[in-house]
Chain A
């Protein structure tokens, strides 16, 4: 096939879909080149938090970027609802990270202090809450709960419905979604990019690499780099129960349809076809120490998924100097940052250049500058 596009987005997960949706909204002619149903896809395995607290230790710009996303998420949810009729069940009434035992409370208190002391970070009002106060916000807590931290910007969403809504939106905008097109080569010839896929060549004036961990292999094709360090996470899902949890927690949330999701582990393992039951046992134990009544619920599903994770945990947004018109985007938090991708990154790609004041800190050049910087992009 040799249809011309303004932009080819490589990757049809949450991140690629959000950017493509944003480009479609701006009237761009866009193709999304995706893999198939059985690809490793964090977009279908994630925990669905829209999460701010504790992100950005070691990179204040990431805090600001995350706060911006949290504040524009409602706008994305409203736009998707208006366009597709789908309610993505965004709830942003603040979220808690629960601590069990005094040691954890002390360590969390230290983290909050370090975040507050970081120069240049946006203030997102993260604060410690002692157990006595916490009990008023979260009825049913167990005696092991020592307290927690709260951030008023935190929340969660139905991420599978968000994913579906973005794809419904792509169709409505006339974006061509092209599945079973893993990209094996990208060449820049005659002022356009030619992308090689098993189903033929796709040509576009610009290309956005949004293929998750696969960006590591794709980026060098257009003079970019995307060092990744993926990890495996596990999630436990219970049967549906009456609503009991008025806020999202960092490792426990109740979906709009009543199931309880318990997460989420972190392992340096990349096989998403298996899981370690010992890890599930610890997660389930912590969940029922947090809310003892959860012990009565049946578990109906468990799964593992591979996180998209830049090597230092912080997002990568970059544009190629050797291949003008080529961009790379990858991040761990494809749910939280979806609104930024739809509104900000899409606008920058359509305009032809990333805006340094917003995303300059996220260039992959930082890896060359400081190969082993300690950071916590992950919560």
Chain B
């Protein structure tokens, strides 16, 4: 769905999405990296379980909620990627103790 610009020369940052290595770019937010990955990164909402993707990309809509390094309900659009970051697509409500 998304294609990176050919002129994007930023250095590569390696993250893990559901345990699989994914290449992002320095300065990407988690949400941008997920959308650019080409993978199915739809989360499921907490009450009805409806599928959602990041939407506003500016911290307002909370549709980008994702588990980052073991912490649930993070807003992926507000967190820059870092080498080795572990991302899990959140299926429903935040888990207890995560």
Residues of A bordering B, CB below 8 Å: 140, 239-242, 244, 257-258, 293, 296-298
Contacts and interface: CB of A to CB of B under 8 A. Distances in A.
Contact of B94 (A140, A239, A257): A239
A201 to B, nearest CB: 44
B1 interface: no
A258 B73 contact: no
A258 B96 contact: no
Chain B residues touching A, range: 10 to 19
Given A239-B73, A239-B94, A242-B92, 5 more contacts: A241-B72, A241-B96, A242-B95, A296-B97, A296-B98
B93 A240 contact: yes
A242 B73 contact: no
Interface of B: 46-47, 71-73, 92-98
Contacts of A140: 96
A244 B46 CA distance: 15
Nearest to A292: B97
A241 B65 CA distance: 13
A293 B47 contact: no
Contacts of B98: 296
Main secondary structure of the interface of A (DSSP, over half): loop
Contacts of A297: 94
Given A257-B47, A258-B46, A240 B94 contact: yes
A73 B76 CA distance: 43
**4 residue pairs, one from A and one from B, having the closest CB atoms:** A240-B46, A258-B93, A241-B94, A240-B93
Nearest to A140: B96
Contacts of A242: 92-96
15 contacts: A239-B94, A240-B46, A240-B47, A240-B93, A240-B94, A241-B72, A241-B95, A242-B93, A242-B94, A242-B95, A242-B96, A257-B46, A258-B47, A258-B93, A296-B97
A140 B96 CA distance: 10
Nearest to A245: B96
A240 to B, nearest CB: 4
B46 to A, nearest CB: 4
Nearest to A240: B46
Contacts of B93: 240-242, 258
A244 B73 CA distance: 17
Contacts of B96: 140, 241-242, 244, 293
B50 to A, nearest CB: 13
A298 B47 contact: no
Nearest to A295: B97
A242 B97 CA distance: 10
Nearest to B98: A296
A257 B47 CA distance: 6
Nearest to B45: A240
Contacts of A244: 96
Nearest to B74: A298
A369 B47 CA distance: 52
Given A240-B47, A257-B46, A298 B73 contact: yes
Contacts of A293: 96-97
Contacts of A298: 73
A274 B95 CA distance: 32
A239 B71 CA distance: 13
B49 to A, nearest CB: 12
B81 to A, nearest CB: 21
B30 to A, nearest CB: 17
B95 to A, nearest CB: 5
Nearest to B46: A240
A241 B93 CA distance: 5
Nearest to A298: B73
A340 B19 CA distance: 55
A257 to B, nearest CB: 5
A263 B96 CA distance: 20
A186 to B, nearest CB: 44
